[in-house]
Amino acid sequence: METIDKIDKYIEETEEDNFDDKLMDKMFEFMQKLDPEQIPENMTDSYIDIIDDLADETDDIEEDFAKKKVKIKVSDKRKRKMEYRKNRAKLKLRAKKYRRTTKFKQYKRKSKRKAKQGKTSTGKRIRKFL
- What pLDDT score does 9 carry? 67
pLDDT higher for 68 or 77?
A: 77
Residue 16 falls inside a structural domain: yes
pLDDT at 105: 93
| Residue 129 within a domain | no
pLDDT at position 70: 82
| 54 close to 27: Cβ distance less than 8 angstroms | yes
Please give the Cα distance from 27 to 22 (Å, whole number): 9
Predicted TM-score (pTM) above 0.85: no
| Average pLDDT over the chain, rounded to an integer | 77
Asked whether residue 116 is assigned to any structural domain, the reply reads no
Rg for the chain, CA atoms, rounded: 33
Taking the C-alpha atoms of residue 11 and residue 21, their distance in angstroms, rounded to an integer, is 16
Residue ranges making up the domain that contains 29: 2-58
Q: Is residue 86 part of a domain?
A: no
What is the count of structural domains for the chain?
1
pLDDT tens profile 4-31:
676 666 666 655 556 566 666 766 677 6
How far is Cα 46 from Cα 40, in angstroms, rounded to an integer?
11
- The verdict on residue 36 lying in a domain is yes
In a domain, 106, yes or no: no
Counted residue by residue, the chain has a size of 130
Q: What is the mean pLDDT of residues 109-125?
A: 89
In 51-79, which positions are buried (b, 16+ CB within 10 angstroms) versus exposed (e)? beebeeeeeeeeeeeeeeeeeeeeeeeee
At a CB cut-off of 8 Å and minimum separation 6, what does 125 contact?
A: 118, 119
Among 23-27, 33-37, 107-111, the range of highest mean pLDDT:
107-111
Rounded mean pLDDT, 79-92 = 91
- Percent residues over pLDDT 70 in the chain: 54
